[in-house]
Amino acid sequence: MNSLNASFVQNMSIVHPEYFFITGLSGTPYSSYYYIFLCITYLIAVIGNSVVLLIIALHRSLHCPKYIGVFNLALADLGETNAWIPNTMKIFFSDSQYMSYNACMANMFFVNLFVTLQSATLVVLAFDRYVAICLPLRYHAIVNNNVISFVFVVIWAFNTSLVALAVSLMNQLSFCKSNVVQSYYCDYGAVFGMACNVSSVHMFVKNLIVALFLVAPLLIILLSYMGIVFALSKITTWEARLKALKTCVSHLLLVVSYFLPIISIIIASLISPLTLNARVISGSLSLSLPPMLNPIIYVLNTAEIRVLIKKLLKNRIVPYRKNISK
């Protein structure tokens, strides 16, 4: 009975603010121009990733393991972009920087879900390249549509469950320090830092997410490319090496666009503490640039997609010219 009363008292002491105040860029002249830039990146990301999704979905020649991964990455990019940029634009262009507690938790869940899906997808694509180059004779036995589809179903289920657990544990925290979120959206780290009753369980889940979706993916990708470099060293001719390496260019560029901004922020913060505006700009760029660049990278570096786009444009332009000539 005493334990029941203690639990009841503990629950009664949990304090949740009705609203959070999202700071965004503060005291910066012409900050509206930066938000316009984010709108441009949003439009490019939405159009580019939608085109990639449609091309892969409609053309059976692209229904293979590699492009199932690309499809999943484009889907995650589209979800992540829509999870925070429209909401951020709404907050700052309407001069209403308040977000309700439930809306904050929903915003936190969807942004973190799609970000973790991006990193997990890059790992799967790295595995695809590793098997294709290091084990080419066993590629179709190890990597096929059924296996890749199953892997992504597991990834979506696991990531959704873990992010939902992290957000649900946030409901057990009391926010008695402040209700001002020093970020551009309902950032998990910023909100977590405002709590005053953090337990070892909360810290474990927070560190687990960082380890699983930031540290581990980067290490696995680095190890896979070490294996690829070792396999390429056994190839006798430079032409064959370059041909094999060329198949990895798109993936390497995706990895760089995703991890380089994050690593740069971490290194910069270790050298010197970042100001609020520096954190907001660097953080928003790390989320907005990869979804914008990813479809451009794949269109420019993937012959199959370029050919299909040219065919689509040709089919549209030729009938249009014929109608004009009539």
Of 202, 201, 200, nearest in space to 191 by CA: 202
Give the model's pLDDT for residue 245: 87
Of 144 and 235, the structure prediction assigns the larger pLDDT to 144
Give 274's pLDDT tier (boundaries 50, 70, 90): confident
Q: What's the pLDDT tens digit per position in 291-326?
A: 999 998 887 777 777 777 777 777 765 554 555 555
Whether 10 is in a domain gets the answer: no
Give the model's pLDDT for residue 132: 93
Read off the CATH number of the domain in which 269 is found.
Answer: 1.20.1070.10
Whether 309 is in a domain gets the answer: yes
Give 3's pLDDT tier (boundaries 50, 70, 90): very low
Find the mean pLDDT for residues 101-117: 96
Give the model's pLDDT for residue 144: 94
Give per-residue burial for 122-156: e unless 16+ CB within 10 Å, then b.
Answer: bbbbbbbbbbbbbeeeeeeeebeeeebeebbeebb
Of 134, 111, 260, nearest in space to 191 by CA: 111
Give the model's pLDDT for residue 94: 79
Whether 229 is in a domain gets the answer: yes
List CB contacts of 34: < 8 A, sequence separation 6 or more: 25, 28, 281
Give the model's pLDDT for residue 325: 54
Give 146's pLDDT tier (boundaries 50, 70, 90): very high
Return the bridge partners of 98, or none: 21
Q: Is the pTM of this model over 0.85?
A: yes
pLDDT reading at 12 higher than 60: no
Q: Look over the chain and give the mean of its residue pLDDT values, rounded to a whole number.
A: 88
Gap between the terminal Cα atoms of the chain? 89
DSSP 8-state code for residue 215 = I
Find the mean pLDDT for residues 111-120: 97
Whether 6 is in a domain gets the answer: no
pLDDT reading at 46 higher than 90: yes
Place of tokens 């070792």: 230
Place of tokens 């199932």: 68
CA distance 278 to 26: 11
CA distance 144 to 125: 13
| 3-state DSSP assignment of residue 319 | helix
Whether 304 is in a domain gets the answer: yes
Whether 12 is in a domain gets the answer: no
Whether 213 is in a domain gets the answer: yes
User: What is the total count of domains within the chain?
Assistant: 1
CA distance 75 to 226: 28
| 3-state DSSP assignment of residue 176 | coil
Helices (H), the chain: 2-12, 31-58, 65-93, 101-134, 139-142, 145-170, 188-192, 200-210, 216-233, 238-246, 249-271, 276-301, 303-325
Q: What's the pLDDT tens digit per position in 154-181?
A: 999 999 999 999 999 999 999 987 899 9
Whether 148 is in a domain gets the answer: yes
Residue numbers of the domain that contains 42: 17-325
Q: What's the pLDDT tens digit per position in 193-205?
A: 899 888 899 999 9
Give the CB-side neighbour count of residue 313, counting CA atoms within 13 A.
Answer: 7
Name the phi and psi angles at 80, rounded to 5.
Answer: -65, -40
Find the mean pLDDT for residues 276-303: 89
